[in-house]
Homo-oligomer: A and B are copies of this chain.
């Protein structure tokens, strides 16, 4: 999962980035409104944390532009506690959730997880796929009921693919979502991790689509 954080306060932004990286996200940061708008329109983020209290720029407008451009990624808005009216306007502009400063990092992470989950069309924090079962809240995976130990990257890759059941994911797409901006795109880490996942979960959970990428089959009801 890859996030964009739009925040200009150096202290807060550092805290945000640290906490979110800790939580296993790839994070891009900007404090500039124009750059935010550009990044949000060109890079494939899974969610955005947008502080409305930026000087000189109007975060709300940025959000509106994204929505006008057809961008649907979930956006969580940060605002000062007394700017209560922002909340309403924020939701109108297309925000998915709202958090008043000050707040606790754990709460932010929890809410982010929630809106990301919802945006994938998953009501529950648990994704099942055949013998596989992924608990996105506890970050736990079981296959046929038996718990499986995954490393951080392994889990992130699996979780991302599980959020896109049935869709063929190209290697570049996966790389873009697992790593932040500057990462060597022609590396074969993805293949390595796919291999390791297959070894741990069984060779049948991830299918190779030659020339295109990988796919996790969604549980079919024989129809």
- Residues of A near any B CB (own CB < 8 A): 22, 38, 41-42, 44, 69-70, 100, 102-104, 106-107, 138-139, 145, 151-152, 166-168, 170, 173, 209-212, 222-223
Contacts and interface: CB of A to CB of B under 8 A. Distances in A.
Contact of A22 (B166, B211, B222): B211
A151 to B, nearest CB: 7
A168 B151 contact: no
A167 to B, nearest CB: 7
B104 A145 contact: no
Contacts of A210: 151-152
Q: How many of these chains are in the complex?
A: 2
Contact of A69 (B38, B42, B100, B223): B100
A166 B152 contact: no
B104 A42 contact: yes
A103 B209 CA distance: 25
Main secondary structure of the interface of A (DSSP, over half): loop
Contacts of A170: 22
Contacts of A151: 210
A34 B209 CA distance: 39
Contacts of A70: 107
Given A38-B102, A70-B107, 7 more contacts: A22-B170, A41-B103, A42-B103, A69-B100, A138-B166, A138-B167, A145-B223
A169 to B, nearest CB: 10
A99 B66 CA distance: 14
Contacts of A69: 100
B22 A104 contact: no
